[in-house]
Each structure stands twice: as C-alpha cells, then as structure tokens.
Structure 1
C-alpha cells in the first residue's frame, strides 16, 4: 500500500513537472528586463495577456474613444527593431491605439479618424529611420556586440536636449519632439537622444522630417563615440579612407546614408 502510494505520488509529481506552465511567457523572457511602450517594466512573475503573434505581453486599449464617430483600424504592424529581453521585435500601435493616446493627452483636436492611417504610417517610418541611425552608431561597437536591441524608450516633448537648445540660440529650428531610447548593447545599457524636426516648406514630401540621433553623454565612452563619428563622417564626406585603418570608411558612409533617409 505504502509503496503504491509512493509510486503514485512520484508519478503525479513527474506529470506536474512535465505539464507546461499556465503562463505562456517564456522562462528566458521572465528572467530579463522587458518593457512595454509606456516605458514600464513588465512583471515577469505575473502572467499578463499575451500577443499571439510574438508571445509577448500586451495591454493595448483598442476600444473606440468616447465620441468617436468612425471605425479606426486595430491592426498592428511589426517593426524591424529587435525588442530587448526577447527574441521578437517591437510591435507598433494600431491606428486606434494611436488615436486613443492622442485624445487622452489632449493632442487630438485637429486629428480626425480618417487621418490616423497616414499618421501611424509616418510614425512607423520615422521610428524605422531612427533605428537605422542608432545602428550606424552601434557599428562603432560591432566587434563587441553584433546584435544590439532596443530595450525601452520614452518621449520627452517638453524638454529640449542640450544640442537643440544650443542650436536654437543661434537661430536654429526647434524640434517638435524628443525621445530617449535605451539600447541593450549585449548587457550594457546605452541611452540615445533623438530630436525630431518638421519642415513646413517640405510638407507632404520625404524631406519634411529630419532626425538628430546621438548617444547621450552619460559617460566618457559616449563622448569618444561622438568624436569618432564626427571624424569618420568628415573623411567619408571628403571621399577619404578611414584615418584609423586606411581603408574605405564604411562607418562614416553608413551614418551619412542613414541621415539621407
């Protein structure tokens, strides 16, 4: 009797250990820092609602906003930007989510339901271009990290970056938005500052938006990177080889190509 009960208990424990967790969030993701689009760290011990397309937590508000008069698409597009702490990429907000966010922040007075498709397209295109800028900078560290990821980000539209403020003192245009992006460089967090500019005279063309992307000067390494990139771009612009290796400077060329997108 005792032997039989022991065997049954052992079998039960074995079956339980083979039963997959009720939470579909992978163990590998639960042990890493993962953030949502609101720059909030996701609690890996909890079991949040999951996006079946990338098996990652989502908490979107896809409901029509109070007073909304027309249907807005709830379809979401996957980006090419690798998401920190996961094996997937970031997923862009749907037009409905974007509309809700604008209304919630009191910024949607001049935006209609019909505008949201083009607004989200412009938003997604700008973020893809931003990542290309970041990757051009990360090429300086390709030897130590071949696959950096975007860990988290936050908007800071009411805070001028030091570069934007300095430029404005000399008559430069003020950016309409600012973001800070934190990149996971294979275990090292690196902050990037992005200023977004809109040029009214070029409205409706690809040249209407420009970006300034650079690593924040949070340490000496970032300052060195800024100095290096300035030199590499100058030599590439002059058609000269890299001053360090004596070969064609691909880092400077890549950075210039990103700026032209």
Structure 2
C-alpha cells in the first residue's frame, strides 16, 4: 500500500512510480562487506540473477528454498547436518512477530534447516552465507506481514489480533496483477518494470473476532538498486480478489491512492 521504501534503519523515501509496491532494502550491510579485508566477502544473494531475464542460466530462479507446496503449516525440516557439510550451522529458530494462533507465533527455519532445504533442491550455496540468507528471508517476511496488517487496519479495529492461519509458496505461478504489470512494461518499458516477480506466496489470514479468513497474494520483486549499488526488494501485498469485501477494499485503496497522487500534482491557482 503506497509508494514507500523501508530499510532496516527505518529511513523512508519515494522509490517506484505507478505501483503499489513496498520496497525494502537488502538487510545485508554492503558497506561493511566492501570494507572487509577478506577479498571473498560478498553479499550471499545473487542480485544479478534477480535482475537477469535470461533463460540460458543454469541457476534456478530465485525463490524461497523452503517448500511451501501445500496450504498447511511450515513443513518439517531436518536439523541434522547435510551430507558433505563442513561448517556447523545454528539450529536455533527465530520467533517471528506473526501470530499463528491466540497463544503462539510462527517460527522461522533455523540456518541448518534452511541449508537442508537448499541442498534438497540442489542449490549450491556456500555454508558461510546461510545465516545471512536466513536474515534476509526473515526480514522480507516481516515486511510482508506489516503490509498485511495495514490492509487489515482498514477493515478491523484491532489488527494486532490477526493470525496467519496457513500459507503456500507458488513461485512458478504469475498472479494476474503481475501479468498486467508485465504487459505494461512490455508496452511502456521506460515507465514500468519489465521483470517478473522472483517469487510468490499466498497467505491466508484469520480474523479471530469473526472467524473470517482472507487470502493475501504477495509478489516478490527485485527493485532498482540504491545509488551505492545496494540491492532493494519490493513486495506487492494485497488481498486476493476472491471475495466481495476484498474487491471493495482493493477498489477503495486504489481510488484513494489515485486521488492523493492527483492532489499532489495539482497546479496551484494564482491569486
């Protein structure tokens, strides 16, 4: 909702035009990586692959490595060492801010579980980069949840009670809205983004006061980098158009944003 950038330091500024994307800076400290005395230090996320549209690369498409292939809870992931693993990875799991039910919150995979998921998919990732990749994974999901709560605040009085009932990863399926923006980028490449989202999740949110469940669609994009080259990710979070109330909220939000943009570009009248 809105056109804003949020970074781990909380600095906000305008970034993307003509979209309702929420852009979030990569939480990896690139300045410290550049100043490191170790020549091999680098961001573990392959940002070139995120921006590349070439299909000739042997690398798999960027997406969450944890297999959310079914609409249910977090899959069971092994905490044991993977074959040929050299480094010891932490097995502690970080608790999210996302309510699972009235008495507990969702937990993110541990670095060891995350690495096991990568190995299971056949992705080659240096073990020393896994903990940073987990931080990025968790950061993006926390930002997505904050966007969900903004939508929920439009409908219910106390969105802090909202729960994430279940979720599903759908990286190979492009949402209708993403297809629309791809078409717009093809017609007007200088004005709109021409890259597809690199991942997609569907989150089903439960409103405890009514028991109602609402499905949200989240498209994950790579956005234009910062001037210093630091990468930025964008999240397009919105309720799915599968209920009358969600359609109404989407229309109302789009109307409000269009009106606000029109008011900001109005030419002041002369006295």
Give 1:18-167 correspondences, 5 Å limit. Answer: 39=70, 41=72, 59-83=76-100, 85-106=101-122, 108-109=123-124, 111-143=125-157, 147-167=161-181
Q: Look at both structures and tell me which one has the larger radius of gyration over its CA atoms.
A: 1
Q: So what's the TM-score if we normalise by structure 2? A: 0.62
8 Å CA contact retained: 1:137, 1:229: no
TM-superposed CA distance for 1:58, in Å, is 8.8
TM-superposed CA distance for 1:60, in Å, is 3.7
TM-superposed CA distance for 1:179, in Å, is 0.3
CA distance in 1, matches of 2:225, 2:195: 13
Report the count of equivalent residues.
187
Structure 2 gaps of 5+ residues are: 1-66, 186-193, 265-271
Structure 1 gaps of 5+ residues are: 1-35, 43-56, 241-261
Q: So what's the TM-score if we normalise by structure 1? A: 0.64
CA distance in 2, matches of 1:88, 1:239: 43
Match of 1:192 in 2: 216
Match of 1:27 in 2: none
Match of 1:223 in 2: 247
User: Whose helix proportion is higher, 1 or 2?
Assistant: 1
Provide the alpha-carbon RMSD of the alignment: 2.7
8 Å CA contact retained: 1:99, 1:113: yes
Deviations 1:5-52 (CA, angstroms, capped at 9, x unpaired): xxxxxxxxxxxxxxxxxxxxxxxxxxxxxxx9775657xxxxxxxxxx
| Greater RCO (CA < 8 Å, at least 6 residues apart) | 2
1:176 equivalent to 2:192? Answer: no
TM-superposed CA distance for 1:239, in Å, is 7.1
TM-superposed CA distance for 1:136, in Å, is 0.6
